[in-house]
Structure formats: structure tokens, C-alpha cells
């Protein structure tokens, strides 16, 4: 898994402290996406913190993020991309997950800050 630019800036926009941003930059999480019936589960696991969310596409749900924000989330599927919108305290961030050349590309956007993470399939 490689990390693209902007992760620390995005976290700063969200109000995440400097020390936490530095830890996030060093983290190499594993992401597992599972589908069971109409329920999608996304597990993100790392040595720092692990999270798991389960949802149905197109239905809003409550989420506690890895940086402890309580958000309202909505996930949709558009052209093979999993679009995840989080809203809290008048703010909004979008996470787009897509497969490209066998890799999972995660693009995170908040305001004018955009960052990417590239995940490679475990062998």
C-alpha cells in the first residue's frame, strides 16, 4: 500500500491534531470489503486502529470514524466506484473507492484538499 499526498492536510481540515496526523501518515492499513446479500461491510485494520462499518447502499447510517468523529454517512455505487459521503458539524468529506489495474484506489476529498491512498492486493 502506498500513500498519496494530502492525507495530513485533509486530516488538519477535519480538526485532527498534528500528532495523530503523523501517525496516520505512517499507518499501512488493510482494507477488506465484503458483500453479503444487500449488506456491504468495510473493515479497515492497522496496528494503530481498526474500524468496521456495515451498510446498505443508498441508505444513510451513523458512523464513528477512525479519528472519533460521529458522522452521518451515505454510500452509493456509481460506475464501479463506491462513493462514501460523511457529514458532521456542517462539514462534508467524500471517500471514493475504485479498482484500477488490480489495485484499490481511495480518493479522499474535503473542500479543496484531495489525497489518495493506493492499496495493493495481499499475496
pLDDT score of 80 more than 80: yes
Taking only the tens place, the pLDDT of each residue in 26-72 is 677 889 999 999 999 999 998 878 999 999 999 999 999 988 899 99
Residues 6+ apart with CB under 8 A from 94: 83, 84, 85, 86, 108, 109, 110
Look-up of cell digits 480538526: 15
Superfamily of chain region 2-120: Calycin beta-barrel core domain (2.40.128.20)
Q: Positive or negative CA dihedral for 88, 31, 116, 24? A: positive
Q: Tell me the domain boundaries of the chain.
A: 2-120
Mean pLDDT value across residues 9-20: 54
For residue 50, give the C-alpha cell.
Answer: 481498526
Amino acid at each position: 500500500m502506498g500513500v498519496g499526498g494530502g492525507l495530513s492536510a485533509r486530516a488538519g481540515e477535519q480538526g485532527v491534531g498534528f500528532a495523530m496526523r503523523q501517525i496516520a501518515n505512517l499507518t499501512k492499513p488493510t482494507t477488506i470489503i465484503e458483500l453479503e446479500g444487500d449488506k456491504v461491510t468495510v473493515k479497515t485494520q492497522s496496528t494503530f486502529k481498526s474500524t468496521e462499518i456495515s451498510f446498505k447502499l443508498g441508505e444513510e447510517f451513523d458512523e464513528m470514524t477512525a479519528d472519533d468523529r460521529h458522522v452521518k454517512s451515505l454510500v452509493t455505487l456509481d460506475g464501479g466506484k463506491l462513493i462514501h459521503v460523511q457529514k458532521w458539524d456542517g462539514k462534508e468529506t467524500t471517500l471514493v473507492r475504485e479498482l484500477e489495474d488490480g489495485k484499490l484506489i481511495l480518493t479522499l476529498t474535503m473542500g479543496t484538499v484531495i489525497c489518495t491512498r493506493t492499496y495493493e492486493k495481499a499475496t
